[in-house]
Copies of this chain bind each other. A is one copy, B any other.
Amino acid sequence: MSSIHNPNQNHLLGALPTAEFDALAAYLELVPLRLGESLYEPGEKLQHAYFPTTAIVSLHYVTESGASAETAGVGNEGVVGVSLFMGGETTPSSAVVQTAGHAYRMEGQRLKEEFSRAGLFQRLLLRYTQALMTQMAQTAVCNRHHSLVQQLCRWLLLTLDRLPTNELIMTQELVASMLGVRREGITEAAGKLQRAGLISYRRGHISVLDRTGLESHACECYAVVKKELIRLLPDVKYRQDSTTTNA
């Protein structure tokens, strides 16, 4: 029986050679992630790591005054829960599902054991973590210096790269909370992009019409993050995707 779900949809899992993958496969459990669901809260010890396939998770921080901002996003290119193998077990931020979908999860203890084997899996996890750091650093710079329109373009592109379609199921309110700005600001910025013919949207749906146009309106931050991800985790498949090869 072949399902539409497959661990290979996650790039980290998909990059593992057969031997490494087989050692892990038994510990991967497919779980649905609902929009708005929290995978962990600040200071809460992580139970599982999540390897998203179709879902997107936002690493989010909420200030004492109730304002919030995304510090990085995680989709099929990475894993939620790096603090498990980094040794901290928890973080001051939370992880919230930004786009509903699926992920494969693994017991935290198991992940730590696999990490400690110091094989290719460890190497991939560490390189991914560095890419995640780049994303955080770039978010800091972007928050400081770039306009809302530029930031919205960056964010749309990063999200789009993690989706199979060109449509985001997402209200302006939600986008605003990701970028840490007012909802009205998104209305205005999205209106500009729609008038420019780059996107079109209706209640809770945003469609990207002109990806190249978006890229030219985005700040450099998108390209920096993307380039660094490709550099650190080249899209090499070490393993043939045997589970989906059926004629």
Contacts and interface: CB of A to CB of B under 8 A. Distances in A.
Interface residues of A, number: 47
Contact of A86 (B88, B130, B136, B146): B130
Q: Chain A interface secondary structure, helix, strand, loop or mixed? A: helix
A63 interface: yes
Total copies of the chain: 2
Given A67-B145, A92-B228, A118-B118, A133 B133 contact: yes
A71 B136 CA distance: 9
A69 interface: yes
30 contacts: A59-B137, A63-B141, A69-B140, A69-B144, A71-B136, A71-B140, A71-B141, A85-B126, A86-B127, A86-B129, A87-B123, A87-B127, A87-B130, A87-B232, A88-B127, A88-B231, A91-B130, A91-B133, A91-B134, A92-B137, A92-B224, A92-B228, A129-B133, A133-B136, A136-B136, A136-B140, A139-B140, A141-B180, A143-B143, A144-B180
